[in-house]
Chains A and B, each alone.
Chain A
Amino acid sequence: MLEIKNLHVIVEEDGTEILKGVNLTVNKGEIHAIMGPNGSGKSTLAKVVAGHPEYEVTEGEILYNGEDILELDPDERAHLGVFLAFQYPVEVPGVTNKILLRESYNTIAESRGREELDPLEFDDYLAKKLELVDQGPEFLDRAVNTGFSGGEKKRNEIFQMAVLEPKLSLLDETDSGLDIDALRIVADGIKKLHGEDDAVVMITHYQRMLNYITPDYVHVMIGGKIVKSGDKDLALQLEEKGYEWLESYASVNGEGK
């Protein structure tokens, strides 16, 4: 589904290189976790896949279902089923969750040749999805992320994911800022949404999210590269030993390669 090959990325404004040759393959039905210390490039990777204009790809490719998507605008990638749950969801004052979701849903439906839902059908559809994040209907009439607590913002991201039914979900630190109960609700939501036709890539600092959702693969990113991949046990090892023992990998496999 997603193939990232030797991806090099700089910040457009000042030319700083953030990603220094990332390789990653994600297949349908899989859950991947990407871990790593602060500043290692995890969030950048997610944003670049979604098409954030702040970054420039200098080398390598991103294939989505075999198709190069680097030239596509963020909305075109969204139409193909790419979804990014933001680490810092953006406030849009005066625009309610419902208005945004109806516009999003129908735009994406149209681009996929799917039927748009009329307002009443859409209300029913939303009501079901709300259960997933344990929110009442008043959540729909609140302005997008405006005045939301950190936890509410993260729930809203998962709610949007539930409504838009993406194929590839990139969850950027969706677990941070959540208390234990909210974490469980969000994690349960993600598990319910995940099926054999879609893939999830979770970016996280902590093992605790992985207690609820078992990843098929765990990758460690250090210094703009994936330095080690493994199964869920790798996450446990990291919890125990930290990242230091892996930093030698970064330098050995780093610049010289």
Chain B
Amino acid sequence: MSETKLLESMMGEEYKYGFTTDVEYDDFPKGIDEDVIRLLSSIKDEPEWLLDFRLKAFRRWKEMEEPSWFNATYKSPDFENIQYYSSPKDRPEVESLDDIDPKIRETYEKLGIPLEEQKMLAGVAVDAVFDSVSIFTTFKEKLAEAGVIFCSISEAVKKYPELVQKYMGSVVPANDNFYAALNSAVFSDGSFCYVPKDTICPMELSTYFRINNMDSGQFERTLIIAEENSHVSYLEGCTAPMYDQNQLHAAVVELIALDSAEIKYSTIQNWYAGDEDGIGGIFNFVTKRGICKGDNSKISWTQLETGSAVTLKYPSVILKGDNTIGEFYSVAVTNKRQQADTGTKMIHLGKNSKSTIISKGISAGYSNNSYRGQVKISKKADNARNYSQCDSMLIGQTCGAHTFPYIESANPTGQIEHEATTSRVGEDQIFYLQQRGLSEDDAISMIVNGFCKEVLKELPMEFAVEANKLLGIKLEGSVG
């Protein structure tokens, strides 16, 4: 089979999660102004400080310009045509699973995320976010025994206002960038996690995001706080139905690690990517940042980005404490007309801080895949070290791969290493493996999995298998 044919069949692969769920919504009118924000805040019965937070963010947002410095082209979202809040109707306080609309439960089952605790992957607690609101958080009691708080951010605002107020916006300020400001103004829900001192969270925490409604954007916020000497591992997964218009997903994630704490944050992103011609798909414009606030703390981002029409995303770590560690492990797969501009920022402020960046970009079809990363060593960060490795793999002749590293060091004791490679999955490699008996699909899957191995091994065990499968599906070139 020639490379062209291979390419064609790869592009024919189907998106499995593209169905819609027919539920009734409590919707907002489209568009955004201060009244919409006040209404949102009052529906959610929010305290005054949060409304202020939102309004300030909104005023800043109105003054800001939509960014355009990345390596992607698209028609900018019509912000007046987005519904900023969308919640499935008839939603009483959810005390047990029986209170959830059976259609929504069914949706999660179709996605392979059953909410019944007994069916869950052993040791994984799930918060399920459907359009704008959090539907249900499993395993709440078991976590509470360990002192871990895991709930929707709306619930956290009510129950733990002092924690939320203290930390929200402390890592990603409301005016940080255009999309973070928009999120700060209109965020509807998201997950909140607090791990107390000297606690190892007894299970994997996980949030599952699902955009269902055609006109709604999803603006969730996640806030994770790991107190001194605690440890937590968190995973998010995302899917959306197939619509022929673009939907905006502008999330903000903030992580705070205090002395000797460790946060591991993993993402499997499989939003709808649009069709062969680039029609439809999600705009995934998120701001994710963590701060290693205390000494000896560690934050690790692992992401497997396979979906979305356009992805702009740079999960970053501010290494504020001494002896802190920041890690970024990324696999970004683009196919068809997808565009991804993704990478990280490692900001070294503390002494002996260390960061590692391993980025693997795989492009196929007519897609464009860019790595953009910044490593900054400040004056005071003695003996800071960074190692970056950015590898790109091309499948076919019509895709693009780019690497944009930005390196800045203001301290002569800093050590920065950057390595980059580009390779092409060639006919010869596929032929070699086929000659050893593997089918063409299996050959490609093996080559790609081998290429991503260093990153995939960072994913929590429970999800590694899913990740392998997802890569296989994304790049399937059914034998033709």
Contact = CB atoms under 8 A, between A and B. Distances in A.
A164 interface: yes
A73 B479 contact: yes
Interface stretch (A26-34, A91-99, A182-190): A91-99
A142 to B, nearest CB: 12
A75 B440 contact: yes
Contacts of B434: 51, 73-75, 78
Given A92-B450, A93-B450, A108 B437 contact: yes
Nearest to B454: A94
A232 interface: no
A95 B433 CA distance: 11
Interface string B403-440: 00000000000000000000000011101111111111
Nearest to A96: B450
A99 B449 CA distance: 11
Contacts, number: 79
A54 interface: yes
Contacts of A104: 436-438
Given A53-B431, A78-B435, A83-B435, A103 B450 contact: no
B340 to A, nearest CB: 21
Interface in A70-112: 73-75, 77-79, 83-84, 86, 89-90, 92-95, 99-100, 103-105, 107-108, 111
**Main DSSP-derived SS at the B contact region:** helix
Nearest to B448: A94
A95 B446 contact: yes
A86 B434 CA distance: 13
B396 to A, nearest CB: 14
Contact of A75 (B2, B438, B446, B454): B438
A95 B468 CA distance: 13
A177 B449 CA distance: 30
Interface in B453-480: 453-454, 479
Given A53-B427, A75-B440, A79-B437, A94 B451 contact: yes
Contacts of A45: none
Contacts of B2: 12, 53
A143 interface: yes
B429 A84 contact: no
A78 B437 contact: yes
A54 B438 contact: no
Contacts of B440: 73, 75
A100 B453 CA distance: 14
B433 A100 contact: yes
Interface residues of A, number: 32
B449 to A, nearest CB: 7
Contacts of B446: 92, 95, 99-100, 103
B344 to A, nearest CB: 21
Contacts of A90: 428-429, 432
B442 interface: yes
A73 B433 CA distance: 12
Nearest to B447: A92
Nearest to B2: A53
Nearest to B423: A93
Top 9 A-B pairs, shortest CB-CB distance: A94-B450, A95-B450, A74-B434, A94-B453, A90-B432, A104-B436, A78-B437, A108-B437, A75-B434
Interface of A: 12, 50-54, 73-75, 77-79, 83-84, 86, 89-90, 92-95, 99-100, 103-105, 107-108, 111, 143, 160, 164
28 contacts: A12-B2, A53-B1, A53-B427, A53-B431, A54-B427, A73-B479, A74-B435, A75-B435, A75-B439, A78-B435, A84-B435, A90-B429, A92-B433, A93-B451, A94-B450, A94-B451, A95-B446, A95-B449, A95-B453, A100-B436, A105-B437, A107-B437, A107-B438, A108-B437, A111-B437, A160-B436, A164-B436, A164-B437
